[in-house]
Amino acid sequence: MNKKTVRDVNIAGKRVLVRADFNVPLSEDGEVEDDARIKAVLPTINYLLDNNAKVILMSHLGRPKGVDDKYRLDPVAGVLSGFLGKQIKKVDETVSENVEKTVAGLSEGDVLLLENVRFNKGEKENDPEFAKKLAKLADVYVDDAFGASHRPHASVVGVAQYLPAVAGLLLEKEVDNLTHLLENPDKPFCAVLGGNKVSDKIGVINKFLDIVDCLLTGGGMCFTFLKAKGFNIGKSVCEEEELEHAKEMLDKAEKNGVNFYLPVDVVVADEFSSTANHKVVTVENIPEGWLGLDIGPRTIEQYRNVLQEAQTIFWNGPMGVFEMKPYSEGTRIVAETIANSHGTTIVGGGDSDAALKKFGLEDKITFISTGGGASLKMLEGVPLHGVEVLMDKEMQNAAVGDV
């Protein structure tokens, strides 16, 4: 990573504004259901505390339209206090006179959590005035929100225009791991892509076809490719507008000598339900009116054999509707095979991470990204807004005064 990190600046006694990604799932009674993203930022927070900084945290949660009590960060504050072993301070606004007074009263080693940045209209619009108000609270800005780093929002990129801006330890780790995939993967390198939408992954498929040895597909997206090859897919998910792109990717794989694997059999059902009639059929024999919800046993065996030979594996997207037991086998066995690999294994967050947790495999993966969308953008080769605005390593400290 060619950007400065929190280790490269003087933070002792400084007010440090940290953009974290605390966009965690909440239960119906408002409790944090998965604290992985909170845990992921702890190394940066603890580093700042160990070096006598005054820590000010900010994050979004959900997609509120204005102030919405359902999306307040109080549950996050509670979990974070438990991890840090001390009560952190929480304010009910993001920017206000009250917030400024609270910040002014911080001592070295204190932690303050601002309210959900998306309660402010200026956040998603990257409004300069809102960004200036955020910057006014601190001496240094640290971006540790990889999952939001592809968003050109005020708390991600706007504030970096007004403060010395560096990466947190999580952001550094994310970029380093994903850069390794692009620049120096051990071979054979195999990508496994699932989930529903081809449109979300066309860019990364195009990039992967230049660097991988094989690409395995599953989930809903594989049916767009199957239809592009002329198969009847019944009522399975298909993005009609992506059929031409799918044909182009299949042609590119053949031209580049990349093994592009599509399912040879699938589990189909007569409706989208765990109690529906379901059966295994070859892809040549998907019945009219039925929909594919998982890869089949022959495909599972083929994919397992391919993955066992790989030295580098990237996985993003389940092989089927793994939340429903009749359609979970493909995702489970692919996940287990990846977890048991002796090579480097990187998982691109989102539903893949949820599958690893469901099957108790997350501790056996080399690296799990906290940002599914951001990881795909980076692997596609798209510059991430939140990384681009950070100070380059070659910049002299003198350029940012005594920071």
Among all residues, which ones are annotated catalytic? Answer: 37, 197, 350, 373
Name 5's bridge partners: 167
Torsion, CA 236, CA 242, CA 244, CA 249, rounded to 10: -90
Cα-based distances in Å from 54 to 16, 18, 139, 397: 6, 10, 10, 20
Nearest partner of 248 among 215, 206, 210, judged by Cα? 206
Residue with tokens 């951001």: 374
Cβ atoms < 10 Å from Cβ of 255: 9
Residue 205 contacts residue 249 (beta carbons within 8 Å):
yes
Residue 124 contacts residue 60 (beta carbons within 8 Å):
no
Task: Bin 287: left if φ > 0, else alpha if -120 < ψ < 50, else beta.
Answer: beta
